[in-house]
Every structure is written in structure tokens, then in C-alpha cells.
Amino acid sequence: MALSTASLGLVAAMAIPAAAADDGPARQQLMADCASGEGKCSFNEPVLGKAYLGDFRQVSNSLYNCSTSDATQSMTWSDTVGSTDTAGVSVTAGGKIAGLIDLSVTATYSHTWSSSHTEGSSLNMTVKPGEVGWISRAQVMQTVSGTWQTHYDSPKWGHYYWYVPDTVTGPAPNGTDGQSNAVTVKTRKMTDAEKASCSSGAQHGRAFVKKR
């Protein structure tokens, strides 16, 4: 009887994904059960997407040049890039969800998967008069798609098994699929408000750093 019930639950879950079932759990509830261990979960049949270079984002403080000559300064930068799932929810590094994905990817592709990557360094930056500059970085990113299988010891929402398709986007090792991380200095003209701040006694005729 238990085997029969489990089979029925499996068929029902496959026919109607958990996230779409009117009488089933919310997707977030299933993922919470996976994270807590209440549900015995696995990330099945992972498929890695082609790596791509993510968007550039500011990773340093900003250097404002209120002087009349170029301003050069050494700026430190740091960047931590995490992973998010289909719903935009963060996949926490070191958490059970991240561990299950890594286990599945390692078994399928024979290399590890990381939900987070941190990097930092310093760079000399030159900013022209009346401009503001900062350091931006872009991380190589990659998707991994698969299906979460959640198994309960006792039926929940009428079934022993629930299936949830998911795609997680996270950082990939530098050089994956020929893509490389990028760090660059970016500059722009100051706004009128920023130019006005240059006229203050403390900042007139000098370059100053403003925290991001």
C-alpha cells in the first residue's frame, strides 16, 4: 500500500509541478524543507549552461577630481559574487542547497560547483579634472538547471514526492568556456551637484575619495 501511494504521489507530482499545484505547497516551502532536512532532497540531472561574462558593477570607492590636473591614486577593490535561483532567491554559500547542487554537478561533470566567489586587489586609477572614477568588475557566470526531488517519510500535501524545476545562476571559474573575468577603470563627468560639492572649502582644488 505504501509503495502504491508513493507511486501515485510521484505521478501526480510529475503531472502537476509543485509550484503550480492549487492544493500543493508553495515552491518556497519545498525549498525550505530541503534546506532544513525535513524533506530528503536531491538535485537531479544538472545541465550546465554556456558560461558568459556577467554585468560590470562598481567594486571600489569613487575618486572625485576637483583639481585642474589629472589625479592618480591607488584604489583597493573587492568583490563577492553569489548565486540566485529561478525566483531570485540567494543560494547561501555553505548551505545545504548549495551542497546538494555541488554534489550533483560533481557527480555528473567531475568538477566542483561553487555558490560564491570572492576576489580583491588594488589598481592605480587616473581621473581627469571634473570627473569621477571607480573600478568595475565583471564575473564569469554560468547557469545550472535541474529538478529538485523532495521525498517525505509521510505524505505532505497528499504526496510522498514533489518535483520542482530550477535554474541557479552563479559564478564560474575564470576561463570557463573561454570567458575571463574583467576588471576596468570607469569614469564619467561630474553632475552639477557633484561640481557644487567641489566648491566647498574642504574639497576645493583637490581630489577626494567617497565611499561607495
Q: Are 132 and 190 in contact (CB under 8 A)?
A: yes
Q: Is 212 exposed, middle or buried (0-12, 13-18, 19+ CB in 10 A)?
A: exposed
Residue 210: all three cell numbers together: 567617497
Rounded mean pLDDT of the chain? 88
What pLDDT does 11 receive?
38
What pLDDT does 8 receive?
35
pLDDT in tens, 191-204: 999 999 888 777 88
DSSP-derived secondary structure letter, 60: B
pLDDT in tens, 70-84: 999 999 999 999 999
Q: Are 122 and 75 in contact (CB under 8 A)?
A: yes
Q: Are 63 and 207 in contact (CB under 8 A)?
A: yes
Contacts of residue 75, defined as CB under 8 A and 6 or more positions apart, other chains included, come to 60, 61, 63, 122, 123, 124, 125, 134, 135, 209
Distance CA 57, CA 135 (A): 8
Cβ neighbours around 208 below 10 Å, total: 16
pLDDT in tens, 159-194: 999 999 999 999 999 999 999 999 999 999 999 999
The pTM score is 0.82
Q: Is 105 exposed, middle or buried (0-12, 13-18, 19+ CB in 10 A)?
A: buried
Element (DSSP H or E) covering residue 123: strand 117-127
